[in-house]
Structure 1
């Protein structure tokens, strides 16, 4: 509980951006139609997914790609705290 409270204090000044959407992606084929549609709608998109899909997703342009894993957890929390919508692939394991 103390960790959650500390993280809330750290990211409290971050305001929710109405145009920001975070997408957790496990499989490229499942989420790419959704990501492409959101890019066309001019939303600010952050995709959190495996490194092997990074180049393909970034080629769409106008989005941020964060590599999934424990090393980037602070970046993930920062992106999640400012997002209005969070889409999670059904196969995404969060522990």
Structure 2
């Protein structure tokens, strides 16, 4: 059970990272990833960029639910909640 939750968390982190890279690439207008992240941090919308990156977690969550892999889906959900709390705290500071 713990292994399945860990696998789900790992998938959630990877999906979020890939989503963040895709979002930064699409919204970056041709700039490289680090430039987009630095500009987002300077302009105050890095939290929104991270939240948009978490959209891929939704896809992986529903894939795990459809395949009846509930513990992996729980791991993805845990990572998504962690990202939401992190984004909220980042926005408040």
TM-score class, shorter-chain normalisation, is under 0.3
Query: What's the TM-score once normalised by structure 1's chain length?
Result: 0.26
Structure exhibiting the larger radius of gyration computed from Cα positions: 2
Query: What's the TM-score once normalised by structure 2's chain length?
Result: 0.26
Q: Greater RCO between the two (CA within 8 Å, min separation 6)?
A: 2
Task: Report which of the two has the higher share of strand.
Answer: 1
